[in-house]
Amino acid sequence: MGGGAWLRTMFDGTGAMDAKRLTVGVITGPHGVRGAVKVKSFTEDPLALFAYAPLCHGGTGDVLRLKRLGEAKGLSIVTIDGVRDRNAAEAMKGVEIQIERSALPEPRAEGEDEDVFYHADLIGLPVFDRAGTEIGKVAALHDFGAGDVLDVAVLGGGRQLMPFTREVVPVVDVAARRVVIDPPAEVEVPEQAEAGEGEA
């Protein structure tokens, strides 16, 4: 999979993940006194979270059976089987709601000049420069409001942020586990040999 117009499909950069599960939401706290909770969705369409099954507790892996009651201040109001009072709901605060990666359809481009990726599939991919030298690994993708930003954990320490655009990130090959960057001068990744300069 090569260059293209990068399209953010499902997840923002905040969703945590492991090799098999992805975080699609988080319980932010209780709502009322009868065990309902507030849920922040990480899916592009907030309601899409409830279309997936099974949904799992991010800590224990237990299946969560959710029923959406409505919305308040941009958050879904949800009941969870087995959570019957405010104390139990309070104990769920901060729990991540996860799905199996295999539950997601393969991303599909809408045009020939597009490549579409799930953010989670990019985390951990080695990052190379145009010369083929490994720079680091993809640590995260962020959306600060002006487009996606690639966060690279640079070999030898430090982080480097750069726009996740076709010009700056011309190659993303998920199957081959390879990302190639061509950053502009103002975000040029320093050579690893320079990392220790000035430390004497």
CATH number of residue 43's parent domain: 2.40.30.60
Q: What number is the average pLDDT over the span 147-167?
A: 89
Asked if residue 141 has pLDDT above 50, the reply is: yes
Q: Which residue range forms the structural domain that includes residue 90?
A: 21-103
Nearest residue to 98 (alpha-carbon basis) of 198, 20, 35: 20
Domain edge (last residue) among 73, 103, 133: 103
Pick 72 or 191 by higher pLDDT. Answer: 72
Average pLDDT over residues 32-37: 96
pLDDT of 100: 83
Per mean pLDDT, which range of 60-69, 86-95, 113-122, 173-182 is the poorest? Answer: 113-122
Instruction: For residues 97 and 163, state if they share a domain.
Output: no
Q: What is the CATH number of the domain that holds 165?
A: 2.30.30.240
| Residue 190, domain member (yes or no) | no
Same domain, 74 and 143: no
The verdict on residue 11 lying in a domain is: no
What pLDDT shows up at residue 28?
96
Counted domains in the chain: 2
Residues 32 and 87 in one domain: yes
Rounded to 5, what percent of the chain is helix, strand, coil? 10, 40, 45
In a domain, 111, yes or no: no
- CA separation for the pair 60, 21 (Å, rounded): 12
Q: Report the mean per-residue pLDDT for the chain.
A: 80
Q: Is residue 14 part of a domain?
A: no
Residue 192 has pLDDT above 50, yes or no: no
User: Are 65 and 130 contained in the same domain?
Assistant: no
Asked whether residue 130 falls in the same domain as residue 94, the answer is: no
Cα(15)–Cα(26) distance, integer angstroms? 9
Find the mean pLDDT for residues 99-114. Answer: 64
Q: Indicate the residue among 69, 103, 137 that finishes a domain.
A: 103
- Classify residue 12: in a domain, yes or no: no
Q: 31 and 98: one domain?
A: yes
Q: In this predicted structure, what is the pLDDT of residue 31?
A: 97
| pLDDT reported for residue 126 | 95
Q: Is residue 36 located within the same domain as residue 98? A: yes
**pLDDT the model gives residue 45:** 85
